[in-house]
Chain A
């Protein structure tokens, strides 16, 4: 398998050095438009910045290798995000026994008010959810609808709906807790 893909890649290189440059440019544009989306998604689902960087670059390397195909997708972003998610899951699997890293707060944004506060709430909420639910909600927080979430995470649409309902319940608990803490 390995030799096969290398061989294919080499042939591709020999055949089309000119085309290569063009592809790079559209990839750069893609990255410019979407890198932040993918990264933010990964940050929301994983508290370990090292793993986030690794998953992101792994996904982009595959995208670089198969950009010809990926760029033809209806939503190349979805594919990259999906691939990054799988890469992250694989990385998490390898490092399962390692200690949970300290949860990081989102960096303060230029306008600190409601948007930053929302992000903070979101991160707190996400940390209380199991991985699959967390990923689903992180995508929702990036503006995806249920079908889009289901497509990217390999879930059923009904599952996404269920996850959102759970998240709503958890958020209520969280808010109630925060209120009691403040009172106490």
Chain B
């Protein structure tokens, strides 16, 4: 059916018998209503136009109809050089009617400069096509206020079809437009904010250490309960087993068991490598025990995968009570101490009872850290950074790895977190500076090296001297050195941080901010600290290629940095799409597995004996950067 068919068919209306009766009733009703209003003094006819529409010319008719609807009109006729506008339009434009003479130049000057081209285009389109067009533009009123005006632009014709002018019917749509913008904004915002904050480890589906610690922190403040931490590394580790894929599958399988026994009410988290946490709220050490033992039994009894890998599970159980102030990291540490005890005694479970005092715990932790440092249970890796303009590796970040009980190098996130917490990070940082500069000094120094220093360590007045001496002693070119401030949250005193940064730069080194954009790195650091490089946190980069919101944040941040003369680097780069995006945004350096994996640094000229590096197999290179991946 075409439109004309429809119109023809619908226009055929046969009057029915009902019409007459209905007409009488309608007439009676409106008659009654008319007299009622008359008696009540209600205005009936002031807002209608009684003229016969057939007797008015087109321009007049449109103007009149606009007036009735409280709309303004602007009209232009071929025969006249100037335009005319109605009193209502004068009001829309912000002038009392009759005060200013309508004119083209005045009208144009009131249209927002950015909207002038579109208005001009729409007027031309209407005139060219002899048809109605619409336009919304901003009007700047004489009092400085801006409003949105919607206009229908119509071409007026003579009876013979010759166009004689244009008329615009306008309405103030500021409120409507603002409401629309707000609707659009809300819709956009709904799509750009994360649906929730819960973060799960992609392999095991358990909470990440950070989120698990959050859950723990919440539980610690509100009630009592127990925390179980299980270390479950593969039982036998043949060299051929190496490979993160296999480990991942084991972790996933272990997580499955954990979840099935623990139940939905008990949060489970991946708190470290092969280390799982289960929060058993509102239990005591006694009531939790059956469930804990079941978890451990199941983990130990299950043969994972066809290749008969088994897990060696050791559990540490601790009790918490909201009346004893404890932080989640401390409780995790206690539980970790407990499973280590279990492992030492070769029993499945060790219950730490009573909980150690804060001072004891601190001492244990510090002693652990000092022992690790003194025992040189660290190795240094270097991960390449690619200069995105030159498209070649020009820098390396020196990464710390901690050797675990069996001599494997593992990502140090947990270790560093604890060191920060018990204020032993300076010891670690100094070890890194010494050993890294030693290794760098032995090499050809063709690259630029980035070394991490905790924000907490900046408070040490001697750190700067320590760095200066190390540079001198190992003959390192300071211009090839950037000090990356990590854990910027721990920068307690901005003045001290500023002094440190100035001092480092005076040596010829550069200063970088690590993990920028998460935690507590205020934007004000960019102007308050003489930063040379900002390393955008990996959480912004990991899903960059698929996330418009992240793209917006990264692009904006890079622009800001460039205008401040700050270089930018992106970590966790995993694919070419991300690389291309970063290059487009003008990011200077890219880092991540896609660029290059961290590799153990080996001394070039004089091997092992002069470097205090423990001997252990080079491979496997441990996936993960300084912080947990």
- B-side interface mostly: helix
Contact with B along A149-175 (1 / 0, CB 8 A): 011111111110111110110010001
User: Chain B: which residue is nearest A133 at the CB level?
Assistant: B132
A117 CA / B53 CA spacing, docked (Å): 33
B123 to chain A, nearest CB (A): 14
A168 CA / B3 CA spacing, docked (Å): 6
A107 within 8 Å of B (CB atoms): no
Using C-beta atoms within 8 Å of the partner chain, give the interface range for chain B: 35 or more
A-B pairs with the 9 shortest C-beta distances? Answer: A154-B65, A32-B23, A162-B131, A143-B11, A118-B9, A156-B154, A159-B132, A31-B23, A141-B10
A79 CA / B5 CA spacing, docked (Å): 27
Contact assessment for A36 and B132 in the assembled complex, using a CB-CB cutoff below 8 Å: no
Contact assessment for A140 and B7 in the assembled complex, using a CB-CB cutoff below 8 Å: yes
Contact assessment for A156 and B10 in the assembled complex, using a CB-CB cutoff below 8 Å: no
B615 within 8 Å of A (CB atoms): no
> Which of B1, B30, B65, B156 makes the CB contact (< 8 A) with A64?
B30
B66 within 8 Å of A (CB atoms): yes
A79 CA / B61 CA spacing, docked (Å): 12
Contact assessment for A119 and B10 in the assembled complex, using a CB-CB cutoff below 8 Å: yes
A171 CA / B3 CA spacing, docked (Å): 7
Contact assessment for B1 and A61 in the assembled complex, using a CB-CB cutoff below 8 Å: no
- Give the residues from 1 to 33 in chain B that come closer than 8 angstroms, CB to CB, to chain A: 1-3, 5-7, 9-13, 15, 19-20, 22-24, 26-27, 29-31, 33
B residues engaging A (CB < 8 A)? 1-3, 5-7, 9-13, 15, 19-20, 22-24, 26-27, 29-31, 33-34, 37-38, 41-48, 50, 52-55, 58, 61-62, 64-66, 68-69, 129-132, 152, 154-157, 163, 167
Given contacts A156-B58, A156-B156, contact A35 B41 (CB under 8 A): no
A69 CA / B49 CA spacing, docked (Å): 11
Contact assessment for A28 and B3 in the assembled complex, using a CB-CB cutoff below 8 Å: no
A84 to chain B, nearest CB (A): 11
Using C-beta atoms within 8 Å of the partner chain, give the interface range for chain A: 35 or more
Question: Which residues does chain B contribute within 8 Å of A29, judged by CB atoms?
Answer: 23
Q: Can you list 7 A-B pairs, Cβ within 8 angstroms, ordered by A?
A: A27-B27, A31-B23, A66-B50, A79-B52, A90-B47, A154-B61, A159-B132
Contact assessment for B3 and A167 in the assembled complex, using a CB-CB cutoff below 8 Å: yes
Given contact pairs A35-B19, A62-B45, a sample of 10 additional A-B residue pairs in the complex whose CB atoms are under 8 Å apart: A5-B44, A75-B52, A89-B69, A118-B1, A142-B10, A142-B11, A156-B132, A159-B152, A159-B154, A171-B6
Contact with B along A120-161 (1 / 0, CB 8 A): 011001000000100000001111000000111111111101
Given contacts A28-B27, A33-B15, A64-B34, contact A158 B132 (CB under 8 A): yes
Contact assessment for A141 and B45 in the assembled complex, using a CB-CB cutoff below 8 Å: no
Contact assessment for B19 and A115 in the assembled complex, using a CB-CB cutoff below 8 Å: no
Max count, chain A CB within 10 A of own CB: residue among B11, B13, B132: B132
A65 within 8 Å of B (CB atoms): yes
Given contacts A64-B31, A132-B152, A156-B154, contact A3 B37 (CB under 8 A): no
A102 within 8 Å of B (CB atoms): no
A115 to chain B, nearest CB (A): 5
Contact assessment for A163 and B54 in the assembled complex, using a CB-CB cutoff below 8 Å: no
Contact assessment for A157 and B50 in the assembled complex, using a CB-CB cutoff below 8 Å: no
